[in-house]
Amino acid sequence: MYDKYSMKAEEFISDEEIKSTLQFAEENKNNLKLVDSILEKAKQRKGLSHRDASVLLACEDEEKIKEMYALAEQIKKDFYGNRIVMFAPLYLSNYCVNGCVYCPYHLKNKHIARKKLTQEEIVHEVTALQDMGHKRLAIESGEDPVNNPIEYILESIKTIYSIKHKNGAIRRVNVNIAATTVENYRKLHEAGIGTYILFQETYHKESYEKLHPTGPKHNYAYHTEAMDRAMEGGIDDVGLGVLFGLELYKYEFAGLLMHAEHLEAVHGVGPHTISVPRIKRADDIDPSAFDNGIDDDTFAKICACIRLAVPYTGMIISTRESKAVREKVIRLGVSQISGGSKTSVGGYYEPEPEDERSEQFDVSDNRTLDEVVHWLMDIGYIPSFCTACYREGRTGDRFMSLCKSGQIQNCCHPNALMTLKEYLIDYASPETRKVGEALIQRELSNIPKEKVRKIAEDNLVKIEQGIRDFRF
């Protein structure tokens, strides 16, 4: 029986409720009166239920889809302004004991190079990432209690935070590792992580079990209930996601929103971010072997509907997507993107030799971070390297209330400009710097409070003089 307050995976993600939602959405997809009333609800910016949002996702009326996109764009502007937060993944180890059929790190893959970074190698990788200009990382690892125990992850986090090369620093480490225990989540929390990210892959239990035939990840309930354990362990900011292509996207969309509703109901705060990865070609993985791939238009519609359904939740697009797709969906509500990414274990410090490749999947956006930053500014966005929120204790519901109060413009906006300024001085190419300096001058006037604007202006001068790490 469906119960969003339940702590049991099969009750807060009820197959029966998803199927009835999809049937309701299918029956009402041409009910324009209902679609209009849902769009009216979305305009109040309080989000939509999984049922309402599923009707919008099912609707095929061209005019209504345009309205959805326009509203998603407006909501994104209202809550997140024109800022896009930058990050990079850092793969620590690809040793894995699971059998995920879509991932080349599965245990049976005997020809992919298996690597695990030593602490010394982490210093090299992180130094290279700092030299690109990154301040925020998402660490990634396969699941292997012997090769990658929690102590290894904790030690690596400590190493990452300790590296201060020139003016560089990694100020926020997000963590994307396999589902674990409350005790381990508490340790991650104490290590000062930002968001704990775990993709559900698929909410469809039967498919989940087939797609994860062996290893600890096979356990659907343990995986699906991970965010509850993370929150019990003190982690306020959690990131959800499904791997689109594994199951029917409408099923996944309803499941994802039900998961968000469950977290909000039980913990009083929904997910901090939602990621929308699609399956990519990889070592021994052919994406066409999966029947549920989605085209770019459907992908864009999913992004827009997520924006309408959970207006305060950040949305992340990785370099799995090409420049063209990123350009299309970024305006529909994306708040974070990666740039200059490598999905191999090592590879930032020096390229991997041809015969020792360890990538998790092919990236479609191969541009450098400088090129991505330049491009974002050209298409009207402020690349932000801000990491202030969790460092100022603005996590979980405190971040959400900042977002809901509209005060984000007096806080995130100057933080974006100040961290962009650091980037421009320390790392940008002369062309990027020129575009960026002009953008900062223009955007200063968009800080509503005069007092805050004045402080930001003073700090920008201090950054020119060599001082770093200002934040509101």
Site of interaction with ligand SAM (CB under 6 A): 102-103, 140, 142-143, 176-178, 198-199, 201, 217, 243, 277, 279-280, 282, 285, 320, 360-361
- Measured from the CB atom, the residue of 89 and 311 that comes closer to ligand SAM is 89
- Measured from the CB atom, the residue of 148 and 313 that comes closer to ligand SAM is 148
Give the Cα separation of 73 and 333 in Å (integer): 6
- Measured from the CB atom, the residue of 341 and 415 that comes closer to ligand SAM is 341
Report the nearest approach of ligand SAM to the CB of residue 230 (Å): 12
The SS3 of residue 336 is strand
Report the nearest approach of ligand SAM to the CB of residue 279 (Å): 5
Report the nearest approach of ligand SAM to the CB of residue 276 (Å): 11
Report the nearest approach of ligand SAM to the CB of residue 62 (Å): 30
Q: 404-408 — which CB contacts under 8 Å span 24+ positions?
A: 404/312, 406/78, 408/79, 408/80, 408/81
CA 130 to chain centre: 20
- Measured from the CB atom, the residue of 91 and 472 that comes closer to ligand SAM is 91
The token duo for 376 is: 């974002």
* Backbone torsions φ then ψ of 89, nearest 5 degrees: -80, 150
Cα–Cα–Cα angle for 73, 75, 81, rounded to 5 degrees? 85
> H-helix or E-strand containing 354?
none
CB atoms within 10 A of CB 406: 11
Report the nearest approach of ligand SAM to the CB of residue 223 (Å): 8
Handedness of CA 302, 306, 308, 311 (dihedral sign): negative
Report the nearest approach of ligand SAM to the CB of residue 226 (Å): 9
- Measured from the CB atom, the residue of 102 and 249 that comes closer to ligand SAM is 102
- Contact (Cβ atoms closer than 8 angstroms) between residue 409 and residue 371: no
- Measured from the CB atom, the residue of 200 and 459 that comes closer to ligand SAM is 200
- Measured from the CB atom, the residue of 21 and 360 that comes closer to ligand SAM is 360
The SS3 of residue 217 is helix
Report the nearest approach of ligand SAM to the CB of residue 140 (Å): 4
In angstroms, the Cα distances linking 179 to 23, 155, 261 are 32, 18, 20
Report the nearest approach of ligand SAM to the CB of residue 143 (Å): 5
Report the nearest approach of ligand SAM to the CB of residue 48 (Å): 25
Strands (E), 359-419: 382-384
Handedness of CA 54, 56, 62, 67 (dihedral sign): negative
- Measured from the CB atom, the residue of 258 and 276 that comes closer to ligand SAM is 276
Report the nearest approach of ligand SAM to the CB of residue 73 (Å): 27
- Measured from the CB atom, the residue of 117 and 282 that comes closer to ligand SAM is 282
DSSP, residue by residue, 94-138: -------TT-TTSTT--SSPP-B--HHHHHHHHHHHHHHT--EEE
- Contact (Cβ atoms closer than 8 angstroms) between residue 310 and residue 76: no
Taking 3-state DSSP, the helix, strand and coil percentages for the chain, each rounded to the nearest 5, stand at 50, 10, 40
Give the Cα separation of 459 and 4 in Å (integer): 46
- Measured from the CB atom, the residue of 208 and 399 that comes closer to ligand SAM is 208
